[in-house]
Amino acid sequence: MPFARQTTRASVPEDRRGRALEIVSRGHELVNSGDLQGAIEEYLRAVKTDPTCPEAWHDLGVAAEAAGDRDQARHALRKAVALRPDSAEGWFNLGNTLVGLGESVLAVRAYRKSQRLTPDDPRVWFNLGYALCQSERRDQARGAYREALRLNPADAATWFNVGNTYLDEGAWERAAACYDEALTLDSTDPDIWNNLALTRVMQGRLLEAVSAYLRSLEINSRSAQTWNAMGSVWARIGDDKQAVECFKSSIKIDEETAAYLLNRALAHARLGSKEDAFEDLERALELNPLLEELVPDLQPLHDLIKDTALQNLLS
């Protein structure tokens, strides 16, 4: 008879762990080659081979998050940190998934556990700040962002997010100061220029807002929202010709947003271009019939409401 090798109880999980880690390694190779789904299948094989392998659960969670399956990611990452509660990266990635699921309170807890394990990682402080903002805890968020800036003071994204906390609170000067700081570090991000423009609008500094929107459009001329926002500023300044041109650019990029057409209709009406105003208004109402309730209250369209063509349009 062939020799039968006996194994102890302790050697069985060790053998499983080794096989599981080999499968995890193949999963890494598939990730590197761009085969994310194949990697997920390998990680699933790994956790079946050894359900107590934290590396397999963690990498399954990260891959599932990358694939957009956040429910699977949450399940896997919770398994990973339960098996290895001292894994800062595990808690960090769990926090990222929870933020994506809108579970900001739980995300804050996960990031705090990661932060305690790696207090000098600016990524953790940054994401903790973001999750705190999502939980409407802006003062605490700024505290987390300050720690991130202490560790990485040249990070434009952190300055931008601090500015956003002030923007949400209506603290325009403080928001603008943060955006200015961010722009000294990175002047190529259109979002920073857009938010700086918004603060200038709220401060009544309309020409400065236009300048900021123009800088944003130099970087991304295909942003319909930015063209529309700049058109609205020109309308407030009283230059409806400029406003019409901006709205025209936004509609050229996005013909399906009723608000852009309505804004151009208002500008046309102020310029006395009744036919153009009606044409834009008709298209806007086709796209969003609910706008009909707003039309009688919109200057200067309320005077045109009596026009027969408009009466037919709204009947």
Contact 113, 127 (CB under 8 A): no
Q: Is residue 258 part of a domain?
A: yes
pLDDT digits (tens, 9 = 90+) for 71-109: 999 999 999 999 999 999 999 999 999 999 999 999 999
Q: Which amino acid is present at 123?
A: R
Q: Containing domain of residue 24, as a range?
A: 13-84
How far apart are the C-alpha atoms of 131 and 143, rounded to whole Å?
Answer: 12
Q: What is the share, in percent, of the chain residues with pLDDT greater than 70? A: 89
Q: Is residue 3 part of a domain?
A: no
Three-state SS string over 239-304 comes to CHHHHHHHHHHHHHHCCCCHHHHHHHHHHHHHCCCHHHHHHHHHHHHHHCHHHHHCHHHCCCHHHH
152 HSE (CA, 13 A, CB side): 18
Quote the CA–CA distance of 307 and 275 in Å, as a whole number.
11
How confident is the model over 190-202, as pLDDT tens digits? Answer: 999 999 999 999 9
Q: How many domains does the chain have?
A: 3
Domain check: are 112 and 75 in the same one? Answer: no
Express each pLDDT in 58-72 by its tens digit.
999 999 999 999 999
- The C-alpha torsion from 304 through 305 and 309 to 315, rounded to 10°, is 170
Q: Which of 101, 122, 153 lies at the terminal end of a domain, its last residue?
A: 153
Q: What is the pLDDT of residues 290-307, one digit of tens each?
A: 887 776 666 566 565 455
Three-state secondary-structure class, residue 103: coil
Q: Is residue 266 part of a domain?
A: yes
- What token pair was written down for 256? 């399906």
Give yes or no for residue 315 having a pLDDT over 50: no
Look at residue 98 and tell me if it is in a domain.
yes
